[in-house]
Structure 1
C-alpha cells in the first residue's frame, strides 16, 4: 500500500505566501499589517508614566549627533569567540571619531558589556553617562542606548508577536532622551537575520517582527502625532524589502518614517559586508518622524568609514546630525 503524501509543507508555504501578500496589500493602502488585537505597552519611566514635555520655540532646537551601530558580538561569555581587544579598540575609535551625543547599539551582550563600552568611550573623551539596556527572548544579544543627555523615560514592549506564537529575539528598545526641553524618542530594532533555519521562514518572521514594531510606533504617534521619533537599527534587509517598508509605514502619510539617506566618503551607501559571499548591502537604517525630518542635516550625516571599520565589525556605523 502506498503511503499518503504529507501536505503539511505545501500548506505552510501557502499560508506564508498569503500572509506576505496581505502585508503588501496593507502597505499599499498606507496602513500597517494587522498582526493581532494586542496593544503595545505604553512608555513608562521606571515607576511612572512617560510625560511629554512642552516643546520650546522652534528656534531653540539644540543640535545633536546620533550614531547607530551593530558592534558584532560584543559579548562577555558565549559560544561565540570573545571579541578581541583589537576589535573592541576599533569599535571605540569609530564611535569616538565624531563625539556623538546619543549612540544606539545592536549585538551588545549583558550590562557589563555595555558598561565596558561606556568606560572605553569615556577614556577617549566621549562621556555618555546615561544608559539603557534591553532585549527580547534572546538571553545573549541585546539592544542598548548611551546618551550624554538624560534618558527621562523607557518602555519595554511585549516581545511576543500577536497571532504568530513567536517572539522578537532582540525585542524593541524604547527610550526618551530630553534635549534642551525637547523629548526625542528612540526606537531601536534588530530584526531576524537572513540566516536560514529549519523551524520557520526567516523572511516571514522578519516581516512579522517589523509589523509588531510598527504597531508600537503607531501607538506612539496616535497619542502624539508631533512626536520627535527616531527608529533605527539593523533591519537585516534592503531598502525596498517588505519588512523595511513596514517599519517606515505608508509613504506620504502622517506617520511615515523617512529613512535618512547617507553615504560614505566614496559616495557608497552599503552598511554591511557579508564576507562569505563578498556582498555589500544597506541593512542598517536611521528613520525619522515628520516632526524631526526638517532637522536632519543631510550634508554632514554619513556612513562612518574612517580607519579600521573592517576590524571592528561586519557593519559600518550610521551617523546622523540634527540641527
Structure 2
C-alpha cells in the first residue's frame, strides 16, 4: 500500500473573530477540506493552525478521510501552531519545545552570547506512524521564522527601524541566525532518531520560510550531500517552472518542503504541488489582518511505494 504525506500552511486558520468573518470562516474550512481530499494523504502536516477547536471542526469536515485525533503543537505570540493529522496508527507523538535556542560556540566552553534571545516560535510536532510495508516512519513538521528582517530591539523591547544599509544588513543577519538556529534544532532531532536507528525512514516537512539552497534548509538536510543521513527533497526533480509553493514580492518561490531520509526517498514515486490556483496575497502586514478564504501557500504531497 502506498504512503502519501502532505504539508500545507493554511494561513491564519483561526475561528471567526467577528460577524463579518463568519462566512469567510465557513468557506475557508470548506476550501481546506477540498484541498485535503484532493491530496488524500495518510499523514498531513499543517501550519498556522489557530487552535484545537478550529482543527477539530476541520477533522469533522473531512471525516471521510478517517483521520485520528490531531497532534497539536505549541503556539507562538500570534496564536498559530503546527499540527499533524494521521489515518495511520500513531505509535507515539511528541511536541518538541525549547525556551530558547543556542548560538553555536566559537570555542569549546564559551558561554552562549545570546542566551534567551533566539526563540523556538512554534513547537516541532513529531509523530511515528506504522506505515505497513514501509515500517515505522517518523514525521516532523516545522514552521520557521519568516524571511523578513529581524529589526534591532531597544532595551524596552520596541523595534528600532533600519535607517541605513548597514542596519538593514544587520537585520537580515539576525533573521538568518534565528532560522538557522531553528534548523539546527530540527536537525538535532533527526540525528537523535538516526543514532538509535541508522536506516530509519524520516520525513521533515513544513513551511521552512526559505528556499532549497538556503543555509537553513541545507542545515536541516545536512550539508554533506554524500552523507548517508542527508535528507533528499521530494520535489528536486520537478521542473523549475512548476516548483513553487508561495509568492514573495509577487514572484513564485518554494519555501514549503518535504525532505526525506534515503530509505524513504528510495520509495518515492510522485510529488505534487497544488499551486494552480495560488495567488499573491500582497506584502506581509504586521498585526491582525482579515481572514481570507484561501491560503497564500500551496499544498505539497509526496507518495511512496509501500
In 1: Cα distance, 2:42 partner to 2:278 partner: 20
TM-score (norm 1): 0.72
Tell me the residue number matched to 2:51. Answer: 110
Q: 1:289 aligns with which of 250, 253, 261?
A: 261
Higher mean Cα deviation, 286-295 or 127-136?
A: 127-136
Alignment of 1:1-323 (within 5 A): 62-76=1-15, 84-122=25-63, 125-135=64-74, 137-138=76-77, 140-159=79-98, 160-162=100-102, 163=112, 164=114, 165=116, 166-180=118-132, 182-198=135-151, 199=153, 201-249=174-222, 250-261=224-235, 268-274=242-248, 277-298=249-270, 301-305=271-275, 309-310=278-279, 312-323=294-305
Provide the alpha-carbon RMSD of the alignment: 2.4
Structure 2 distance, partners of 1:147, 1:134, is 15
Residues in 2 aligned to 1:312 and 1:137: alpha-carbon distance in whole angstroms: 22
Q: Which runs of 5+ in 2 are unaligned?
A: 103-111, 154-170, 280-292
* Deviation at residue 272 of structure 1 after TM alignment: 0.5
Q: Distance in 1 between matches of 2:149 and 2:27?
A: 30
Could you state the TM-score of these two structures normalised by the residue count of structure 2? 0.76
Confirm or deny: 8 A CA contact 2:16 2:25 kept in the other structure: no
Give the Cα separation in 2 of the matches to 1:156 and 1:147: 15
> Tell me, which stretches of 5 or more residues in structure 1 are unaligned?
1-61
2:33 counterpart SS class: helix
For the structure 1 residues 184 and 78, does the alpha-carbon distance in structure 2 shift closer, same or farther, using more than 3 Å as the test?
A: farther
Contact conserved, 1:272 with 1:281, CA < 8 A, in 2? Answer: yes
Aligned positions, number? 254
Give per-residue Cα distances to partners, 1:132-158, cap 9 Å, x unaligned. 111255461101111111211112323
CA distance 1:128–1:108, change in 2 (3 Å): same
Moved over 3 A (4+): 81-84, 136-139, 262-267, 308-311
In the alignment, the residues of structure 2 paired with residue 267 and residue 280 of structure 1 have an alpha-carbon distance, to the nearest angstrom, of 9
8 Å CA contact retained: 2:68, 2:85 = yes
Shift of 1:127: 1.9
SS in 2 for 1:129: coil
SS of equivalent to 1:154: strand
